[in-house]
Structures are given as structure tokens and as C-alpha cells.
Amino acid sequence: MTRRTRRSWVPLVFVVLAGGVLGHVLAEAVSAFSPLSFLARSVEPGLDPALHLDLGLVTFTLGFTVRLNLAVLLGVVFALWLWRWV
């Protein structure tokens, strides 16, 4: 019986981010094409407006927004599928 070696999680993070970026590019490309425009409809969860803390000496601002759509999800799933077979 052969033992599987564990891969590092760092390349996996890059693969997931690359899949998300490619999915976003796909969504922007097809957003003007009417039959595929449903791929570009997005949901944007996050902190809006940003959390702002002024302590006099130091000011902290924390905010983030994640734009999710079907094309990004498909890009991440496709990237993970490729990761599994490589």
C-alpha cells in the first residue's frame, strides 16, 4: 500500500486565488453578452462602511468587501479540480 504525501497549503491558496481571478475575468467578459449575463450577477458581503477607530495618536481603519458571483465560483471549482489531478 502506498502512502500519499501531504501537499503544502500555500500552493493551494494560490490555485484558489488564481481560479477566482480567472472567474472574475470571465464574468467581466460575458457581462455584456445577454444570454450569459447571469454569470456576472454578484453579491458583495463585507464591512461597508469601513470600521474606523481614532485613538488620537493612531487611527485604525478596517474594511473589506468580497465580490462573489457564479463565474468566480466556477473558476474556483475548476482550479480545485485541476489541482486534484496535477
Instruction: Give me the amino acid identity at 46.
Output: G
pTM of the full structure: 0.73
Task: Work out the pLDDT band at 37, boundaries 50, 70, 90.
Answer: confident
Structure confidence by residue, pLDDT tens digits, 60-86 = 999 998 889 999 999 999 999 998 887
Q: Which residues contact 19 (CB under 8 A, 6 or more apart)?
A: 75, 76, 77, 78, 79, 80
